Structures are given as C-alpha cells and as structure tokens.
Amino acid sequence: MWKQFLSRLPRKSSKSDASPRSSHGQSGSDVTTSANGNPIQRTSSGNVVASRSTTVKRTASSIFPSSVVTSIDPLLLFKDVSDTEKQNLFVSKLNLCCVVFDFSDPNKNSAEKDKKRQALLDIIDYVDSEGSCFTEPIISSSCKMFASNLFRAFPPNTRSSSGGGETEEQEPTFEPAWSHLQLVYDLFLKFLESSSLDAKIAKKYVHHSFIVRLLHLFDSEDPRERDCLKAILHRIYGKFMAHRPFIRKAVSNIFYQFVFETNRHNGIAELLEVFGSVISGFALPLKEEHKLFLWRVLIPLHKPKGLGVYHQQLTYCVTQFVEKEPKLIIAVINGLLRYWPVTNSQKEIMFLSELEEILEATNEVDIQKCMLPLFQRIGYCINSPHFQVAERALLMWNNDRVISLVSQNWQSVMPLILPALERNIRSHWNQAVLNLTQNIKKLLYEMDEELFLACKKKFEEEEVKQDLMEKGRMTWEHLESTAAFQPATRNVAVQVRPVIAPPVVAALS
C-alpha cells in the first residue's frame, strides 16, 4: 500500500539532483551533519571553479549541497563578480559557511574545511575593504551563520568545583574547531561594529533567544572563546539599547544559578568584566534595579569557594557602586561581614584587600554606622594564627586613607585594635607579624598618647580579671575531679532522700 501511495507522488528529475548520486558512485564519500540536522553528502574531491571570466554560474558541486547556497557559486572571489552581484555572493558564502564539520578527526573532510575557512576569510576581507552595507538579507544570513557555528552543547564538565585551591591555575581546554570559530567571532564583531548595521532591523534577528544562547557560550572551557564573547556581549549591550534590561536579567540569572545551585561556571570573570564597564555607565541617581543587583548578585558572589578566579573583577564592580553612591558602603561592608570566610585563610586575605579598596572610595561620614563591627573583625584578623592574614590586616594601617578615616573615631576604634596588638606581642609566633605589630602600636601611641595609655590600662585590668576568673574556674575543676575519685565516708554529711513506702505495702505489713 505504501509503495502504491508513494508512486503517485510527483518526482523531480533534474541534472542537479542526479549529479550528487552519480558522483557518489564514482568517488569516496562522507556524510556530515549540517546546522539544521540534515545529513549532507560530500566527497573528498569537488569541482574546481571554472573560468573566472564567467562571473555568475549555477552551483553543481557535491562538496556543499545546493540547499546551503544561492544561485551564485560561493567559491568565487568578490573581485571576480560585478558590483551588482557582490551582495548575492555575500549571502551565498554565508550560507555555505553554515555547514558545520566534525573536528574530532583532523584528517576528516580536510578539503571541505579549507574551502569553508577560505570563504570566511573572503567575507572578512570584503567587509574590511569594501565597508559592506548590511542589508536585511545579509543580516538574516549572517545571524543564521553565527547561530549555526557558535551555538552548541558543551560536554559535561568533569573538573572539580573546588580543585586544589581557589586560585589554582588549571590547564585550559582548547576548542578543536577554533580555526573556524575564531573567524566566525571576528566576523561577528565586525558585524556589530559596522556603521552600516541598522539596529532596528538587526534587533529582529539578534533577539532574546539569540542572546540567551550566546550567554550560554560563556561556560566554554576555552579562554580564547570567552575573550571573544566578552567583546561581543559588550558591543551588543551598546548597540541594542532595547535589550539592555533583558541582558542584565539574563546575566543575573546566570550568577544566581552559580551561587545558589552549581558553584561551577567558567565565565564568571568575563561576565563581571563586562558588567564593570556597564556599571561605570550607570546614570545618577542609581535606579533601585541597579541597587538590587549589588545586594542580590554582587554581594552573594563572595560566597563561593572559587572566589579567587573572579575576585579582581568583582572588587572593581563593587567599588564602582561605592564611588557612584557612597551611602552604599554600609550595605557593602555588612554584606562582606556576613559572608566573611572565618575558616578560609586565602579568601580572608582577598576580603581584606577588597575592604581596603572600598575604604579608599568612601568618606568619614558614610562609614560611621558600620565602624564598630568592621574594626572588630579587623582586630580578629590581626590575631589570626595564619601569618598572611595577620600581616594583611596590619598592612592596612600603612594606608593613609584608612588612617584618616579612623582618626575621627579613635574613641571607638582604639579599644578594639589595641588589645589585638597587645595579644600579638605576647603570643604570636611569626616574627614579621611581631615587627608590624610593634610599628602599628608605636603609630597609635604617637597619634593619641592619652587615649592609648587609657586603653592599655583598661586592657591590663581586664586581663587581670580574666586571669582571676580563669584561676577560679581551674580551682573548681580541680575540686570536682578530686571529689569524683574519693568515696564518701561516715564523717561526711550526705543528704539522703527518705523513701516512703506505698500505702498498700504499709497496710499489709
């Protein structure tokens, strides 16, 4: 029945359809999947372009199927066609470049790969030399080609989320198809930077779905690809103003997923670098949406273990907010204290460095409300047994900006810092930390001798009280342990609880 039904369908008979079948029988063939998922039959040898005097001809090559080319041969050079046909040749080359090859085997389809690479180079040279006008057909074909080559699924990430350390450099994984992808990214960047690109028309093709798939590529393990994506995302954000809120929301969702779900993403540093320039362009006063981005996205990004990979970019973003609106310093410092890594020394050093940069960007008035918890935490860091943490906390006092900030609040800061310095002098094991402690102590003494001596006297009195309390506690512990091993004798009064017999037993007796 099926054969009878199919025999009634009309069939096409043309030379172009017969050509691939005949060539298939003559030479070895290979099947490659195109961007739309359809199988494409190719041979290792193809038809060489005929005489260059023929500027326009129909394509009859078995290397690339007729479904990906237009009426003009994409293997022609732009200089060999008339000006009226250059736009058609442009589209034809773009359609040819939509074919995606498998680069897991370097020797597979090598001739076809070279032809595609040459077509990409021809397009880039034409855009550079001619200043091509991006009409709507070219925009449509360009975006289709970008999507076909760039948008792909990545293999599972088998690396540990924490690795050997937060700042440990891992060997990068390079994309085998980079010889083609690099040219596609170069063309994409020229496409976005072109003055002839009409953003209103391009917006129909660079839509929300396109942007989401582009952001997904930031998880690539190839640092070269992430670097290209960084430049492209920045151009898209600047070119398409209507997409800016959506881009901010989509990137925020990536950060949310990284912080609260996976703790694993390869492109956090690059995304933060893009947003550093975005934040610097925010208009004043800051919108509530932008402040929420600081509180809900940037501050929680201090939580993951892999902070060291993107801490420099994160610090720059946070500092940009504080410089634009100094009142945000309270929320920023409280957020840092909330996520302070008390058990991770390397992250603690990063937090102290970021804290110093933030303090340099603020003034005395804005920091008043968070002065006590801030310097209480710095005092704990000064007493850290990890010498690098203690050293970094002490080096903050060499910053003139930090000294000027706390000079207005000596009455509250000195009682927190001086006891930490005294404890270091008495018990810290590292000589470099001891030397820094002595220098800071001398500095505080010279700044306010009377307050220094008063705080030192109070600290010594508290130390005496603590020693007495400790001696009393140890005495009671000794008495309790001694009594536990000595049995009670008849000369020792022992409280005995009387036993009352039940009424029924008493009556029977």
Q: How far apart are CA 370 and CA 358, in angstroms?
A: 13
pTM of the model: 0.77
* pLDDT, tens digit (0-9, with 9 covering 90-100), for 10-41: 444 333 343 333 333 333 334 344 433 444 43
pLDDT at 315 over 90: yes
Predicted confidence band at 45 (pLDDT cuts at 50, 70, 90)?
very low
Which pLDDT belongs to residue 491?
62
Domain boundaries defined on the chain? 27-43+56-153+175-198
Q: Which residue has the tokens 């020792």?
A: 492
Residues 6 or more apart whose CB falls under 8 angstroms from that of 232 comprise: 185, 188, 189, 192, 214
Which pLDDT belongs to residue 160?
45
CA gyration radius for the chain? Answer: 36
Let me know how long the chain is.
509
List the single range of 133-142, 291-300, 469-478, 480-489 with lowest mean pLDDT. Answer: 480-489
Rounded average pLDDT over 493-499? 61
Which pLDDT belongs to residue 500?
65
Predicted confidence band at 132 (pLDDT cuts at 50, 70, 90)?
low
3-class secondary structure, 22: helix
Which pLDDT belongs to residue 21?
36
Q: Which tops the pLDDT comparison, 244 or 403?
A: 244
* pLDDT, tens digit (0-9, with 9 covering 90-100), for 72-108: 788 888 888 888 888 888 999 999 999 998 888 878 8
Q: How far apart are CA 470 and CA 480, in angstroms?
A: 15
Half-sphere exposure of 105 (CA within 13 A, CB side): 6
The CA–CA distances, whole Å, from 454 to 113, 225, 448 equal 80, 61, 10
Which pLDDT belongs to residue 480?
82
Q: What is the mean pLDDT of the chain?
A: 81
Closest CA to 46 of 68, 86, 19, 79: 19
Q: Which tops the pLDDT comparison, 108 or 269?
A: 269
Structure tokens at 119: 């077509």
* pLDDT, tens digit (0-9, with 9 covering 90-100), for 206-232: 999 999 999 999 999 999 999 999 999
DSSP bridge pairs for 40: 32
pLDDT at 295 over 90: yes
* pLDDT, tens digit (0-9, with 9 covering 90-100), for 413-446: 888 899 999 999 988 899 999 999 999 999 888 8
3-class secondary structure, 429: coil
Cα 9 to chain center, whole Å?
56
Q: How far apart are CA 320 and CA 237, in angstroms?
A: 19
Residue 39 has phi, psi (to 5 degrees) of -70, 140
Q: How far apart are CA 401 and CA 390, in angstroms?
A: 20
Name the CA dihedral angle for 345, 347, 350, 356, rounded to a multiple of 10 degrees: -80
